[in-house]
Amino acid sequence: MNRIIEQNKEILSTIPDEYLNPEMTEYMYKLASTGRADNLKTILEMTSNEQHRKEMEDELNSISSSSKSSAISNKFIVFDIILRRLGL
């Protein structure tokens, strides 16, 4: 493994650190092994797009989760107001 890294240091140095996680490494491997990308530049461009898509998806999920929590809180507040108005 160290020999492979030593032989490919220059190429590896062009890969941004944020792509060196298991999910993105697997994505880059699949691009190369399936022929969807045939050179490093294309792999890096496609990985950049995928990373951006994942970040946007995570952000949207976070907003959605926050909105659901707010909606539940609002339902409890409304329910509490109704019960108070009814004298319960």
Taking only the tens place, the pLDDT of each residue in 23-73 is: 999 999 999 999 999 999 999 999 999 999 998 888 888 776 666 667 667
Please report the pLDDT score of residue 77 as a whole number: 75
**Which of 71, 24, 64, 60 has the alpha carbon at shortest distance from 44?**
24
Sequence ranges of the domains in the chain? 2-85
pLDDT in tens, 13-23: 888 888 888 99
- Contact at 8 Å (CB) between 24 and 18? yes
pTM here is 0.62
Average confidence (pLDDT) over 3-20? 80
